[in-house]
Amino acid sequence: MEARARSLLDAFVQDSPRHRAATRRPNDNSSSAKPWDSDDYAKRLGTFKPSTWFHRPRGLMADVCAQHGWINSSSDELRCVTCMATICLLLPSITDREEYERAAEEYEAKLKSVHRDYCVWKGAKAPDSFLFFPELSFDECVHAFRSRFSTIMKLRSHMPIISDDAMNQLSEINEESLKGLMEFLPHEKSDEDIVGCLIALCGWETQSLQSEAAHSNLLVCTTCNQKLVASDLLTIHSNEKDSRRGVPTDKCPFDVIGDHRPWCSWIAVNALNAKRPGWKVVVGILTESLAPTPVPSSQVGVAAPIRRALDDAKRLVQSFVPNKVP
Ligand SMILES: [Zn+2]
Ligand SMILES: [Zn+2]
């Protein structure tokens, strides 16, 4: 809905491109002037939200802007963390392709040129590698996967149900790989464990909401800084219960892929060199380590419950979400 509204807005906005010179004094916080610092890059990237930085061409996406020292200071506005220069970025309607692309190119040049002469970002940028999913060793990958899973399992009794769209994308993980992934985790082979595994696999972890009720948890991606309130999501159990009672609900399933911000390296296939999205990288690292030994006949049935639980989860979504917008 928001996306559609913003598209319409973009289609009617004919504001000419402009940028404003900042009147504030330069920021003397030296930590903001280190293009090579990946934590600073992550902080800058975390300021971008789809509600204030929406539908940008590749060269103006959040990760590219953050790479050149910019934060998203307000709607359609960038501010340099060091020299405080600002760029107000309003593109013409995409219906005039030529005009749109010309304006996009001009703005891309401004990401570099608008910095004040003394600014460290003039002629510098964070390394390209920051834009991609980080290279992880096998041990780092296992450790991070387990640690995300252990936080997700705090939701065991109200585990979110994964959306149909996400399940369709995740279905490229075959039974054997899924079984292998589960073996990295302490689990009880329940539906909740399998769903928890897939949520952790896609980069999510939980954080507690300090000031709220004890059961309130946030599902968080620390890469794109997306945060969802877990109690806003349909859960495996409430779903079964409400569907028996025919109770309508405004809760929605968890799109473990689409709920990341569009530029998140957990899901983004970077146009510059077509790297795989993060969740596929993690599947690769973890399953490539598995010895391709034939499965002993006594274990053949182990994968079947996993597949059945996934099919059950999918069926629940299909039977329960009425009038899905195509
Ligand atoms: Zn600057
Ligand atoms: Zn993310």
| Residue that the structure tokens 């359609």 belong to | 76
What are the tokens at 286? 């973890």
| Residue that the structure tokens 């405080």 belong to | 84
Rounded to whole angstroms, how far apart are CA atoms 64 and 128?
9
Say what the pLDDT of residue 310 is.
Answer: 62
Say what the pLDDT of residue 236 is.
Answer: 84
Could you list the mean pLDDT of each consecutive 10-residue stretch along the chain, which spans 326 residues?
Answer: 37 29 38 81 91 87 94 96 95 91 95 95 92 90 96 91 94 89 87 94 90 72 91 78 60 93 83 73 88 46 49 53 40
Closest of 48, 92, 46 to residue 74, by C-alpha? 48
State the CATH architecture for 2-126: Orthogonal Bundle (1.10)
Backbone angles phi, psi at 182, to 5 degrees: -60, -30
Say what the pLDDT of residue 206 is.
Answer: 95
Say what the pLDDT of residue 274 is.
Answer: 55
Say what the pLDDT of residue 13 is.
Answer: 29
Closest of 94, 96, 56 to residue 75, by C-alpha? 56
CB 57 within 8 A of CB 104: yes
Backbone angles phi, psi at 142, to 5 degrees: -65, -45
Identify the helix (H) or strand (E) that includes residue 319. Answer: helix 303-320
Rounded to whole angstroms, how far apart are CA atoms 1 and 5?
6
Q: How far is the CA of 129 from the centre of ligand 1 (A)?
A: 21
Say what the pLDDT of residue 157 is.
Answer: 86
CB-side neighbour CA atoms (13 Å) of 150: 8
Q: How far is the CA of 108 from the centre of ligand 1 (A)?
A: 15
CB 31 within 8 A of CB 40: yes
Q: How far is the CA of 31 from the centre of ligand 1 (A)?
A: 13
Closest of 172, 231, 222 to residue 200, by C-alpha? 222
pTM: 0.73
Say what the pLDDT of residue 120 is.
Answer: 94
| Residue that the structure tokens 């289609």 belong to | 11
Q: 37 CB contacts (<8 Å, ≥6 apart)?
A: 31, 126
Q: How far is the CA of 29 from the centre of ligand 2 (A)?
A: 27
Q: How far is the CA of 132 from the centre of ligand 1 (A)?
A: 23
Q: Could you tell me where in the chain the CATH 1.10.1170 domains are found?
A: 2-126
What are the tokens at 180? 């292998």
CB 144 within 8 A of CB 136: yes
Q: How far is the CA of 257 from the centre of ligand 2 (A)?
A: 8
Q: How far is the CA of 227 from the centre of ligand 1 (A)?
A: 29
Neighbours of ion ligand 2 (CB under 5 A): 221, 223-224, 260, 264, 266
Say what the pLDDT of residue 245 is.
Answer: 61
Nearest ligand (C-alpha, residue 204): 2
Rounded to whole angstroms, how far apart are CA atoms 133 and 30?
26
Q: How far is the CA of 90 from the centre of ligand 1 (A)?
A: 20
Closest of 90, 60, 98, 57 to residue 74, by C-alpha? 90
